[in-house]
Amino acid sequence: MSEMAIQQILTQMRTLAAEIDAPARAAGSEPAPSGFGTLLEHAIESVNTQQGEARQLAAALEAGTPGVDIAQVMIEVQKASLAFKAMTEVRNRLVNAYQDIMNMPV
């Protein structure tokens, strides 16, 4: 996976975090705690949502639902696949970083 794709995913994750904090600030309440775990959780939920939408479009195409374009289905399936691959790459890098830290001499 290229560095550009990883940077795009990180940008998307930051955007999601900003969107989550925006309603709390607008309401005037205390900002919700946002950390790396929350950011990662929302990114995973986003990937899951993309995959669900792609599955629904593919099922609608298979069922012959009018108005469902094969090009649209293919694009959504590829977007979901790319998002999943990027999320997997982020996870792999996190695991590698954790292992590097654990192997450091004390």
**How far apart are the C-alpha atoms of 27 and 72, rounded to whole Å?**
37
**pLDDT at residue number 63:** 92
Residuewise pLDDT in 10s, the chain (106 residues):
567 777 777 787 777 777 776 665 555 555 555 687 888 888 899 999 999 999 999 999 999 889 888 999 999 999 999 999 999 998 899 899 999 999 998 8
**How far apart are the C-alpha atoms of 65 and 61, rounded to whole Å?**
6
Residue boundaries of the structural domains of the chain: 3-20+32-102
pTM beyond 0.85? no
Angstrom distances, CA of residue 52 to CA of 48, 56, 61, 80: 6, 6, 14, 9
**How far apart are the C-alpha atoms of 58 and 76, rounded to whole Å?**
9
